[in-house]
């Protein structure tokens, strides 16, 4: 308990942990959990140079490709390697969730809660020169940060980003033109054809978008019926489409064939498994923890949101595809209970074994085949992971 009190966890949070059967001693791991980085694909040859610049040895993880650990208090943000986009700051458990998705070159991937984008970047690095990634998030400012990441790491070519509610998002990937041709060859001169993406939109268009956002925020008018496209790369399948083609919806039956090959639902949660996140409330103030974690948990709306995100992500998955559901909460309510309910409601969903996990420092969740990383045993941030496939029924 002496170790726990180092973080000065307030009584209300200790009660929350007790109610959820969680051991408060995991928060003692905050000082011993390593930092993790992922090396940008292609930067492997510069490993020694990076180590020399940051003046620290990068310990290679033997269970997760491209990941290295650093001492717990190490900060990468000021290093040139980070500023120049040679390394990413991402926890190893988050890397495992992406790895569970088993993305192959050429896949069309949907990331339904994408911002700020650490996992999305990893997916794009794996994807290589074929396929596409569609990133969706309801928080515009967070998705804008994700767009900045794409630009920093020069990863945006095959990506499109939509500000949208993941519980109702309905667009399937563009499979036809996205895998071939250059930006130019895809161009057709129609009046509202989407051309190469630029941050410099005409003044009129920016004003219209700002007005629509303002009105939506004040509830004066209903939200635009289409998700807002805030970025698209050269090979994301968007260029050359008219707006009506971009927003063309398909019926549920068609999604079986034209849906995504892989879907990640890294759902909104209480973040209680992320010891570093909880540590931040020491500075932000424990009343903020009350509002963001404890009150959120008390309302059923969070678990209902998680179930809706998982259900809609699965709806957009093609038959035979894989979906990974993850949260950085360790409560049963936000994980196994959501999975349980989802399986009851979706006869075509089947839990899958995560093959790569045999070497991972995690343990089984309460439902066989689901996984839990917890800070004290895995030396990572806390994370729950479940993988599903869609059966043809």
Judged by CB under 6 A, which of 66, 95, 156, 166 binds ligand SAM?
166
Active site residue 121: no
CA end-to-end span of the chain, whole Å?
52
Q: Give 53-59's long-range contacts (Cβ < 8 A, gap of 24+).
A: 53/79, 53/80, 53/81, 54/79, 54/81, 59/34
Longest alpha-carbon distance in the chain: 69
| Alpha carbon distance 361, 64 (integer Å) | 10
| Interface map 306-345 toward ligand SAM (x if CB under 6 A) | ----------------------------------------
Nearest distance from C-beta of residue 113 to ligand SAM, angstroms: 3
Active-site residue identified among 121, 159, 328, 362:
328
Q: Which is nearer to ligand SAM, 58 or 118 (CB)?
A: 118
Residue 137 is labelled as binding a ligand: yes
The CA–CA distances, whole Å, from 269 to 70, 280, 319 equal: 27, 16, 28
Neighbours of 328 (CB within 10 A): 24
Distance CA 164, CA 93 (A): 26
Query: Whole-number minimum distance, CB 138 to ligand SAM, in Å?
Result: 4
Collapse the DSSP code of 170 into the 3-class scheme (helix H, G, I; strand E, B; otherwise coil) and give the result.
coil
Cβ neighbours for 359, distance < 8 A, ≥ 6 positions apart? 62, 63
State yes or no: 165 annotated in a binding site. Answer: yes
Query: Is residue 228 near ligand SAM by the rule CB under 6 A?
Result: no
Which residue, 274 or 378, is less far from ligand SAM as judged by CB?
Answer: 274
125 is in an annotated binding site: no
Cα–Cα dist 205/193, whole Å: 15
Residue list 86-115, contact with ligand SAM (CB under 6 A): 94, 113-115
Instruction: Assess 167 for contact with ligand SAM (CB under 6 A).
Output: yes
Q: Does 385 bind ligand SAM (CB under 6 A)?
A: no
The CB-of-49 to ligand SAM minimum distance in angstroms stands at 27
Which residue in the set 130, 139, 187, 234 belongs to the binding site for ligand SAM (CB under 6 A)?
139
Q: Which residues pair with 108 in a beta bridge?
A: 132
Active-site residues: which are they? 328
Binding residues for S-adenosyl-L-methionine: 137, 165, 266
Binding footprint of ligand SAM on the chain (CB under 6 A)? 94, 113-119, 136-139, 142, 165-167, 266, 268, 305
């Amino acid at each position: 308990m002496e170790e726990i009190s180092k973080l000065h966890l307030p009584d209300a949070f200790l009660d929350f942990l007790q109610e959820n059967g969680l051991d408060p001693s995991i928060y003692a791991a905050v000082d011993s959990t390593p930092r993790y980085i992922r090396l940008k694909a292609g930067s492997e040859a510069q490993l020694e140079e990076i180590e020399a610049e940051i003046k620290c040895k990068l310990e290679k993880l033997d269970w997760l490709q491209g990941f290295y650990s650093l001492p717990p208090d190490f900060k990468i943000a000021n290093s040139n390697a980070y500023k120049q986009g040679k390394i990413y700051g991402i926890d190893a458990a988050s890397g495992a969730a992406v790895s569970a998705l088993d993305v192959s070159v050429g896949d069309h991937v949907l990331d339904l809660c994408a911002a700020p984008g650490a996992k999305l970047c990893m997916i794009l690095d794996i994807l290589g020169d074929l396929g596409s990634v569609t990133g969706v998030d309801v928080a515009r400012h967070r998705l804008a940060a994700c767009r900045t990441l794409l630009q920093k790491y020069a990863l945006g070519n095959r990506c499109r980003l939509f500000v949208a509610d993941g519980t109702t998002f309905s667009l399937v990937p563009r499979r036809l033109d996205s895998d071939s041709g250059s930006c130019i060859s895809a161009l057709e001169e129609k009046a509202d054809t989407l051309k190469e993406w630029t941050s410099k939109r005409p003044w009129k268009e920016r004003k219209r978008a700002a007005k629509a956002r303002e009105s939506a925020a004040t509830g004066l008018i209903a939200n635009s019926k289409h998700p807002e496209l805030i970025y698209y790369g050269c090979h994301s399948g968007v260029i050359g489409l008219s707006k009506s083609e971009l927003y063309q919806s398909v019926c549920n039956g068609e999604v079986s064939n034209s849906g995504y090959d892989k879907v990640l639902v890294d759902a909104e949660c209480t973040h209680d498994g992320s010891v570093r996140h909880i540590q931040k409330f020491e500075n932000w103030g424990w009343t903020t923890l009350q509002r963001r974690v404890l009150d959120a948990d008390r309302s059923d709306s969070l678990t209902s949101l998680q179930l809706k995100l998982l259900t809609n992500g699965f709806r957009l998955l093609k038959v035979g595809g894989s979906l990974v559901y993850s949260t950085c909460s360790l409560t049963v309510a936000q994980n196994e209970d959501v999975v349980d309910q989802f399986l009851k409601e979706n006869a075509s969903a089947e839990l899958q074994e995560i093959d790569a996990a045999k070497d991972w420092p995690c343990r089984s969740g309460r439902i066989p085949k689901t996984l839990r990383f917890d800070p004290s045993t895995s030396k990572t941030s806390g994370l729950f992971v479940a993988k599903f496939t869609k059966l043809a029924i």
